[in-house]
Amino acid sequence: KSTDLSNGRYTDVLVRDDGAWRFISWHGGADD
């Protein structure tokens, strides 16, 4: 999986939930 930085920033975060690792990814940036 490649990360594309076209418009804004892409963040990948690993968080622990209920004893399991959940992969959360969200992307935010400036409104075009």
Give me the pLDDT at residue 25, please: 61
- Which of the pair, 8 or 18, is modelled with greater confidence? 18
Q: Which amino acid is at 9?
A: R
11-32 pLDDT, tens digit per residue, is: 566 777 787 777 666 555 555 5
Give me the pLDDT at residue 15, please: 73
DSSP the chain: -----SSSEEEEEEEEETTEEEEEEEEE----
pTM, to two decimals:
0.23
Confidence grade of residue 8 (pLDDT, cut at 50, 70, 90): low
Give me the pLDDT at residue 22, please: 72
